[in-house]
């Protein structure tokens, strides 16, 4: 008796009423029986559903399905205890009734984008019915090509329905698809990962890259090791790129990317590529009051201090007095500071003049006097002075 009570308690606790199927619920179910009017489908623990047999016929009235085939269908409503399903919305004589069901019960329907019209797209739905989807309801991403949608079959919701017009939307569906993709990416993406993506749009401040359902921002400062003036000089829409994930902010849906971090850092080999004491060719990239920046290679600039631009006693007030941006120049590398990423430069012409002057001075420099060396005669003035002093002593 006690065991029977325990079993009853366990049964009551474990038993749950079958979940009520809401209109629009999608199922993929096998056909268990075909009659002249209906196709019965098995919907699991909920029993059997009914699909109008006309939905499983081609335009010539031939049956295109058989028992055992799996069909995709959407729940419409229950009538006299029977669950009614549809495999397509808008087909056959009951089309308008089905559209009304789809509108009231939020049932998705499939349509093909036939052409672009003013303000949106014309959508062709089964049964020859035409509907309209505004651009704002397409769920398109930034600067996505409208032409790419023409001829594509998509799933929509009916958001407006009357005798004359049917207005569709896929924004909710597109957002749901993105959220599903984001959920997958959350489990796979990590800061520092190298990933592959496609450029979706070009902006003044950078470029947006699609990483497979979610976009990341590639700022202009992260495009290359060198200075970049225009994003379009390096990237174009649709281009595939390999980038490094710099930051992930899922809450605000912000992902920061870097293209330059995926490339070799030129400063790692700067001391070998541009060694101190070597002469190099570069291009003036920027002028500032304190000096001129010269690009030696991709991402590496050296500085000629304004005090080193004049040479000799000549004073230069501003680098623009002797140099222009874009000018090619030969320089001597004076010093390479890898820690602070600084390279000190001198114009080659001035460097060579200084070296020549130093060599000349060394050549004509007087030798040092030694204690046992004969005193030098000195200048003519000094000799005359000594002779005058001796003459004065004799007269005294």
- Please give the model's pTM, rounded to 2 decimal places: 0.51
pLDDT of 16? 42
201 and 283 in a single domain? The answer is: no
Q: In this predicted structure, what is the pLDDT of residue 17? A: 42
Q: What is the pLDDT of residue 316?
A: 81
The backbone torsions φ and ψ at residue 51, rounded to the nearest 5 degrees and listed phi first, read: -120, 135
Q: Is residue 152 in a domain? A: no
Task: Give the pLDDT of residue 107.
Answer: 80
Q: Could you tell me the CATH number of the domain that includes residue 340?
A: 2.40.50.140
Question: Is 270 in the same domain as 357?
Answer: yes
State pLDDT tens for residues 1-32: 445 455 555 444 444 444 567 776 778 899 99
The token duo for 273 is 């590529």
Q: Are residues 303 and 346 in the same domain?
A: yes
Specify whether 230 is located in the same domain as 305: no
Range of the domain at 270: 266-361
In a domain, 136, yes or no: no
Size of the chain, expressed as the number of residues it contains: 396
Residue 92 class from Cβ within 10 Å (0-12 exposed, 13-18 middle, 19+ buried)? middle
Tell me if 390 is assigned to some domain: no
Examine residue 5 and state whether it is found in any structural domain, yes or no.
Answer: no
> Per the structure, how many domains does the chain have?
2
d(CA 23, CA 289): 73
- Same structural domain, 258 and 270: no
70 in a structural domain: no
Q: How far apart are CA 381 and CA 386, in angstroms?
A: 9
- Look at residue 33 and tell me if it is in a domain: no
Tokens 């820690």 label which residue? 339
Q: Which of 233, 262, 291 is the last residue of a domain?
A: 262
Given 220, 242, 262, the domain boundary residue is 262
| Helix H or strand E segment including 105 | helix 95-105
Same-domain check for residues 252 and 299: no
- Domain limit, last residue, from 231, 262, 293: 262
pLDDT single digits (tens) 204-241: 888 899 888 788 899 988 888 877 778 888 888 888 99
- The 3-class secondary structure across the chain, one letter per residue, is CHHHHHHHHHHHHHCCCCCCCCCCCEEEEEEEEECCCEEEEECHHHCEEEEEHHHHECCCCCECCCCCCEEEEEEEEEECCEEEEECCCCCCCCHHHHHHHHHHHCCCEEEEEEEEECCEEEEEECCCEEEEEEHHHCCCCCCCCCHHHCCCEEEEEEEEECCCCEEEECHHHHHHHHHHHHHHHHHHCCCCCEEEEEEEEEECCEEEEECCCCEEEEEHHHCCCCCCCCHHHCCCCCCEEEEEEEEEECCCCEEEEECHHHCCCHHHHHHHHCCCCCEEEEEEEEEECCEEEEEEECCEEEEEEHHHCCCCCCCCCCHHHCCCCCCEEEEEEEEEECCCCEEEEEEHHHHHHHHHHHHHHHHHCCCCCCCCCCCCCCCHHHHHHHHHHHHHHHHC
3 state DSSP class of 350: helix
Asked if residue 298 is part of any domain, the answer here is yes
Residue 96 is predicted with a pLDDT of: 66
Same domain, 282 and 325: yes
Within this chain, do residues 277 and 357 fall inside the same structural domain, yes or no?
Answer: yes
**226 & 284 share domain:** no
Same domain, 257 and 283: no
Q: Which residues of the chain have pLDDT under 50?
A: 1-2, 4, 10-18, 93, 371, 373, 376-377
The answer as to whether 119 is a domain residue is: no
DSSP string spanning 59-74? Answer: TTS-B---TT-EEEEE
Same domain, 203 and 225: yes
Is 254 in the same domain as 278? no
């Amino acid at each position: 008796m006690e065991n029977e009570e325990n079993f009853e308690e366990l049964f009551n606790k474990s038993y749950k009423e079958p979940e009520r199927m809401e209109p629009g619920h999608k199922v993929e179910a096998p056909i268990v029986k075909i009659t002249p009017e209906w196709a019965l489908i098995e919907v699991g623990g909920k029993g059997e559903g009914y699909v109008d047999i006309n939905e499983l016929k081609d335009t010539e009235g031939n049956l295109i399905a058989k028992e055992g085939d799996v069909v995709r269908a959407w729940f419409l409503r229950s009538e006299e205890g029977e669950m009614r399903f549809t495999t397509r919305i808008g087909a056959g004589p009951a089309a308008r009734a089905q559209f009304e069901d789809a509108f009231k019960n939020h049932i998705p329907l499939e349509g093909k984008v036939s052409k672009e019209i003013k303000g949106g797209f014309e959508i062709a739905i089964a049964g020859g019915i035409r509907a309209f989807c505004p651009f704002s309801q397409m769920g398109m991403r930034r600067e996505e090509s409208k032409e790419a949608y023409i001829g594509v079959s998509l799933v929509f919701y009916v958001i407006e329905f009357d005798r004359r017009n049917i207005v569709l939307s896929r924004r909710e569906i597109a957002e749901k698809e993105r959220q599903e993709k984001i959920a997958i990416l959350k489990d796979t993406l990590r800061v520092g990962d190298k990933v592959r993506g496609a450029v979706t749009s070009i902006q003044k401040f950078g470029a947006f890259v699609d990483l497979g359902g979610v976009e990341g921002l590639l700022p202009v400062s992260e495009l290359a090791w060198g200075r970049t003036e225009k994003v379009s000089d390096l990237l174009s829409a649709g281009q595939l790129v390999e980038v490094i994930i710099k930051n992930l902010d899922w809450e605000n849906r912000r992902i920061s990317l870097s293209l330059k971090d995926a490339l070799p850092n030129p400063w790692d080999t700067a001391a070998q590529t541009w060694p101190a004491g070597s002469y190099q060719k570069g291009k003036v990239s920027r002028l500032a009051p304190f000096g001129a920046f010269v690009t030696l290679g991709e991402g590496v600039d050296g500085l000629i201090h304004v005090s080193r631009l004049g040479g000799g006693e000549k004073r230069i007030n501003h680098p623009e007095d002797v140099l222009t941006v874009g000018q090619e120049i030969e320089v001597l590398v004076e010093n390479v500071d890898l820690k602070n990423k600084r390279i000190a430069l001198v114009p080659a012409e001035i460097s060579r003049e200084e070296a020549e002057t130093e060599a000349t001075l060394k050549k004509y420099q007087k030798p040092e006097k030694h204690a046992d060396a004969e005193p030098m005669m000195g200048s003519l003035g000094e000799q005359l002075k000594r002779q005058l002093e001796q003459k004065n002593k004799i007269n005294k």
